[in-house]
A and B are shown apart, each in its own frame.
Chain A
Amino acid sequence: MQLLTWLDALGAADSSASAAPASRRAALARLGRAALTAVPAAGVVPAVAGPPARVASITTEFLYLALRVARAQTALLSQALTNNVPPTADRTLLELVRDTTLDLAARIEAISISGDALPPVRQYSFTGSPTGPGPFDPNSYPDVLLLAQVFADTLSRVLISALGSLANNTAFAELAAQLLGTNSRLAALVRRARQAQVAAVQPWVIKEEEATNLPVVFVEEVPVYGGESSERIFGVLNLAADSTDTGAIFDPLPAVEQRTAAFDQPLLPVGTEIIPYTAVNQLLERFELP
């Protein structure tokens, strides 16, 4: 990618916030959330200390997407702990992950929106198929760890996705980053626990070997988990490519696996989306009961 192409893309990224209202309407229409279109360009009043009183609704929609993932994570781990799925040695760790994720969710829920409502609380089936037998066994500890890793990584990716649209709401960018900082620690803890069972797993997202071991539901034609690969910075420059740009940045050029593992990746919106509803819906629809 040439420099000016990169800069063009960066400029486009910066314009995303101003383009947000139309795309948001499109996204909401796709979701059938017609009621929300009546909400005026939504002011929100954060109950948490710090951020200013009013921000654009797109901010909280990002946070609510993160909330849905956090709720799935806490439900998964609560169910596993209740059913004594984790071995005794790992129980404290999973309680830590569950309780901290619960607090992260509470921080998001504490943000009140005028005219909008929190996402409804859902029931879950962690078999991976709400309507019948799926590929996962919620009473299998390896399966629980795998799903906990997927949810934790995805939550971080949602929060990273939010940041690019928060240039005009940097107090909320700070809040999203604070949530991200804690959640990515949790993701690393889950991955370390899973590393004891699958040696290829690392505390950070890796590009190759691990991905090929993922269940097929995560590597279908529109992969919701992306096979773990994390290839882009700025959402633009492809670190996986041995391009002129990557060659100019690094001396010597690190291996592609090292380059891509060094950055967590935003969830990419589909079509005209600003908020990556499609990706999160693709993931959660396998676990949220209708």
Chain B
Amino acid sequence: MTKPSLFFPSGPGAHLPRRAFLRYAGAASAGAALLLATGCKGGGDTSTPSAPTTSNGESVSLGSGDVAIINLLQAGKQVSVLLLERVAATLPEPAKRLVITMQGQQIIHREVLKAAANTSRAAASSAALSLRDLPADFNSLDLSTPTAALSAALGLFNTLVAGAAGAMRYTARGATLTLLGQVLSVDARHAATLAGLATAPSALDPSTTGPDARNRALTPAQTATALNALIQSGSRLLTASLP
């Protein structure tokens, strides 16, 4: 069953205030409006195009501008949802329940970021496209024991927090900044919780060097490279065009 579009209400009486829409979309043509109308949830999403695969297995474009930032975080959420499922399977209660709750929140982040990418497309760029599903590859991780699995997840969450912090510098819109902050804040809570379950409570990303309480910040290219280590070759994120 096709779900109703977030962007274009359906049903009797639903209509598009075209003038306002075009103002936001910056689209002067009906063709652009048509593209937007077909680019929403409900089976109409147009996935990011696959470029020729690079020698290191990269093929997925994230788009540009704020959409690229949102899609980068969405890619991280796709990976975190899959990893937390594997981690939860290694844990006894009550830690398992806690991690499953975290996974549920990561799913919510993933879906909201997907919607936000579509919204940003409407507001900023008719060329922006939704991110397709990315197959994970966790062969490089040790998921054999609860402690090892929790540590692996902690490493990913530290990357997500640092990636969101570093992405701020390359974000143009206030609304995107707020959304990134809202997601980052909960990811940081997840990271601290995973650290407490894995070893000992920690207030810092262990990758932080020196007596500095500021969280690490990674550039989008660094974040994408880190995520690519957990994505199957051939479906990895293109890093060359990222700042």
Contacts and interface: CB of A to CB of B under 8 A. Distances in A.
Interface string A240-257: 000011011111001000
Of A101, A164, A171, A176, which is in contact with the most chain B CB atoms at under 10 Å from its CB?
A164
Given A14-B174, A188-B189, A264-B186, A249 B111 contact: yes
Contacts of A259: 108
A182 B162 CA distance: 10
A8 to B, nearest CB: 7
Contacts of A167: 171-174, 177
Contacts of B188: 180-185, 188
Nearest to A51: B169
A248 B162 CA distance: 30
Q: Which secondary structure characterizes the binding site on chain B? A: helix
B214 A160 contact: no
B224 interface: no
B149 interface: no
Contacts of A245: 6
Contact of B179 (A2, A100, A233): A233
Contact of B214 (A3, A182, A187): A182
B201 interface: yes
Given A10-B175, A164-B178, A187 B184 contact: no
A159 B212 CA distance: 18
B145 interface: no
Nearest to A249: B115
Nearest to B10: A244
B217 A178 contact: yes
Contact of A185 (B162, B169, B203): B203
Contact of A265 (B7, B42, B182, B214): B182
Nearest to B107: A254
Interface residues of B, number: 73
Contact of A263 (B7, B101, B182): B182
B204 A163 contact: no
A262 B192 CA distance: 15
Contacts of A36: none
A254 B6 contact: no
A13 B104 CA distance: 28
A205 to B, nearest CB: 8
A174 B182 contact: no
Contacts of A186: 192, 203
B185 A170 contact: no
Contacts of A21: none
B204 A247 contact: no
A259 B107 CA distance: 10
A55 interface: no
A177 B180 contact: yes
A69 interface: no
Interface in B18-68: 20-21, 24, 40-42
Closest 5 CB pairs of A and B: A181-B215, A103-B213, A248-B6, A184-B188, A264-B185
21 contacts: A7-B123, A10-B119, A11-B123, A17-B174, A96-B201, A163-B168, A163-B177, A170-B171, A178-B165, A179-B215, A181-B184, A185-B192, A203-B189, A203-B190, A203-B193, A233-B112, A233-B182, A234-B175, A249-B112, A251-B41, A261-B186
